[in-house]
Amino acid sequence: MKILVTGGAGFIGSHLVDLLLSEGHTPIILDDLSNGSEANVPSGVKLYRKDILSDKVEHIFKKEKPDIVMHLAAQVNVDRSMENPAEDAAINVLGTLRLLEYSIKYGVKKFIFSSSCAVYGYTNEVIHEESPTSPISFYGTSKLVSETYIKLFHRLYHIPYTILRYANVYGPRQRTDGEGGVISIFIDQLLSDETPVIYGDGNQTRDFVYVEDVARANLLSVSNADNLVVNIGSGSQTSVNLLFTLLSNLLNLSKTPTYVSKRNGDIMHSQLTNAKASENLSWEPKYDLISGLEHTLAYFKERKKE
């Protein structure tokens, strides 16, 4: 199949493109490279360097006529969303809406959307897909609004969809700046002999899921889980303090982190159930946290040598 991957030069998207190629699909990448890198694009894969809000994106649909759209491109920084909600909404909501319009116009057979556990907001319970959605950040809100548009387009125009709500994704190629996740940032700080920073008291928990598992969930969505919302997580939760300890132990380092005030829009606890993914995608995570951290550390160590 010909599959348009928005954000395909980015962290998750590039792993997905690699997997699609290995499975015999023809991925096409739409990415403005604001977060992604051309170095992540495999040889021979077509890259359109465009903003998803550009009017020229329609020409890509008209020319390529993709069978499937996998929409991963997004403004993903929670802090940035709180500082500039209009920008966040423009990229995440209007960008999704335009892709949906082009998908209808040019006969896309399925729309697969990368959403986030940020749509749930505060909860102290294990999160399932029917848990209340009450986001506490504009980023989470923009993802939830996009989901609503996708469902309405399905009702009005009958385009099949799968919405994947990711937990905290980590792994090779993740950025180590403000756009990155806590794992890549910790690793970069530890390998650079810097003092890691923990926001809040470190007792907040996250459901960490390895990027190759997430890519596989997207691949399985091509022919499964039509018109469903599906959580994609590890099914467990790990505190930021424990995460720091695990990384320090794997690196044989002894450092004391600096604790600073918690950030706006950060939830306290997160753990997703995978029951629906197991039933509808035949998906279970293959990587536990330790094995995923080992692969991630190996990547960042190698990159430090370059």
Name the catalytic one among 48, 139, 170, 287: 139
Task: Report helix angle 95-105 to 57-64, nearest 10.
Answer: 30
- Give me the torsion for CA of 253, 194, 198, 214, rounded to 10°: -80
Is 102:71 a contact under the CB 8 Å cutoff?
A: no
Residue 262 to residue 45: CA distance in whole angstroms: 41
Q: How far is CA 64 from CA 6, 148, 218, in A?
A: 14, 27, 20
Is 95:54 a contact under the CB 8 Å cutoff?
A: no
Give yes or no: 149 in active site.
no
Residue 179 to residue 37: CA distance in whole angstroms: 14
Extended strands (E) in 66-120:
68-71, 110-116
Is 176:185 a contact under the CB 8 Å cutoff?
A: yes
Is 52:98 a contact under the CB 8 Å cutoff?
A: yes
- DSSP 8-state assignment for residue 207: -
Q: Which residues are catalytic?
A: 139
